[in-house]
Amino acid sequence: MTPDYNTLLLAIALSGFCLSATLFASWLSARVERFLLSWSLGIGCIVPAVAAYSAYFENPDYRIGCLAFMLQFVGFAFIYGAAYRFRTHRSGRRRMILHFATCSLVALPWLIVGLDGIGFIALNLLIAASMIATAAEYWRGRDEAPLPLTGIVILYLLTAVSFLLCAAVLIHDGQWVLGHAPNNWAENLNLVMAIIGITGIGAMSLALNQWRVAGSHQRAANTDALTGLLNRRALFDRFGDEPVGAHRAAIAFDLDSFKSVNDRYGHAAGDAVLKVFADVLGEVCGAAACIARLGGEEFIVVLDRTLPDRAQNVAERVRADFAAKLIPIGRRTISCTVSAGIAFGNAGCASFDSLLSNADKALYSSKRNGRNRVSLAA
């Protein structure tokens, strides 16, 4: 083993150890994104794998080789699991176990029976396939953060190509039995590419984690914790400074006699009623509408590019569907009603705040006229 090759292996081990520790510390500080923990564990397994691989160069015993292979398969299983968890928010534990078991069953027997060249070919092909599968997971989730995720995909694919070249050189030379670890230009290129891939992917993974943490804080600041709808702040951030168009409608909803629900059945029952009403709003209004909870039992739906008839139909459907709901409260079910007021943008409505004020006036008209009804602003 040449000093240059030994230096490259040492560089991979040191960079992998530092990056694994950094990623683990980042996860400990927030514990929001577990994909970062999986990635840290994967790189953490690569470090002893490099040490075992270095020992195999000095003493090509098949048992040391099997240990180096298994540590690499564990590491890349975790790295693939990190990508799967990033995209799906699921653990992917079964996938990682299957990944490790398949790779071990395919590659280790060749080392044990003395066909170590075939074993190294299998090792390189399996790691390349693992990295391509990992890149595919990030590619499928690239809409969340296109630039860093595209960079991660490119680095994974380039590193996979370097592993494929290692396998191709062994196949081209017909090196089915080596008696030692392979040492050629493709192996040197692979180590350089591994150093670049580890540092580049690690840095981008940290950036992705910060991206998600910041996004989580932003969503928490703009979301009503009980219903998952937008809150007042988010609503005014979105529409507060915009001119009110003639085809914008605001529908104000207020649950009828909601205080009596809390007084009679308790606040947990009141929360259940609010959640059911939020679900009804989502089902009726769809993704095109902006739905927010202003506080208490008051909700707002904003419809853009809509005609008066459609706004009235939406409000009536919400009213009727909610009135028909039987809401389970302990061992009984209750039903509730809602009143609504609709206002439309026009020349006399200069601001979004004025639009909401007009919708509130229409809502109060519904309340005065007996509740469980929809009224239009004058």
Q: What confidence category does residue 135 fall into, taking pLDDT thresholds of 50, 70 and 90?
A: very high
CB burial of residue 156 (10 Å; 0-12, 13-18, 19+): buried
DSSP result, 172-223: HHT-S--SS---SHHHHHHHHHHHHHHHHHHHHHHHHHHHHHHHHHHHHHHB
Q: What confidence category does residue 27 fall into, taking pLDDT thresholds of 50, 70 and 90?
A: low
pTM of structure: 0.66
Instruction: Name, in order, each residue with C-beta under 8 angstroms of 283's C-beta and a sequence gap of 6 or more.
Output: 321
Min mean pLDDT across 9-23, 40-54, 182-196, 230-244 is at 9-23
CATH 3.90.180.10 fits 232-376, yes or no: no
Q: Write the pLDDT tens digit of every residue in 184-197.
A: 899 888 888 888 88
Q: Which helix (H) or strand (E) is 248 found in, with range?
A: none
Instruction: Name, in order, each residue with C-beta under 8 angstroms of 82's C-beta and a sequence gap of 6 or more.
Output: 35, 36, 38, 39, 42, 134, 205
Q: What is the pLDDT of residue 1?
A: 43
Q: For 142, which DSSP code?
A: G
Indicate if the alpha-carbon torsion angle 230, 236, 237, 243 is positive or negative: positive
Q: What is the pLDDT of residue 14?
A: 72
Identify the CA nearest to 303 among candidates 273, 332, 344, 267. Answer: 344
Q: What confidence category does residue 3 fall into, taking pLDDT thresholds of 50, 70 and 90?
A: very low
Q: Write the pLDDT tens digit of every residue in 59-70.
A: 899 999 999 999
Residue in this structure with the two tokens 């005609």, named with its chain if needed: 307
Q: What is the pLDDT of residue 11?
A: 72
Q: Write the pLDDT tens digit of every residue in 161-179.
A: 999 999 999 999 999 998 8
* Torsion angles phi and psi, residue 326, rounded to 5: -105, 110
Q: CA–CA distance from 123 to each of 77, 78, 118, 167 (Å)? A: 13, 16, 8, 8
Q: What is the pLDDT of residue 124?
A: 95
- Name the CA radius of gyration of the chain, rounded: 30
Instruction: Name, in order, each residue with C-beta under 8 angstroms of 244's C-beta and a sequence gap of 6 or more.
Output: 345, 349, 350, 351, 352, 354, 355
- CATH number for the segment(s) 3-220: 1.20.1070
The residue extents of the domains of the chain are: 3-220, 232-376
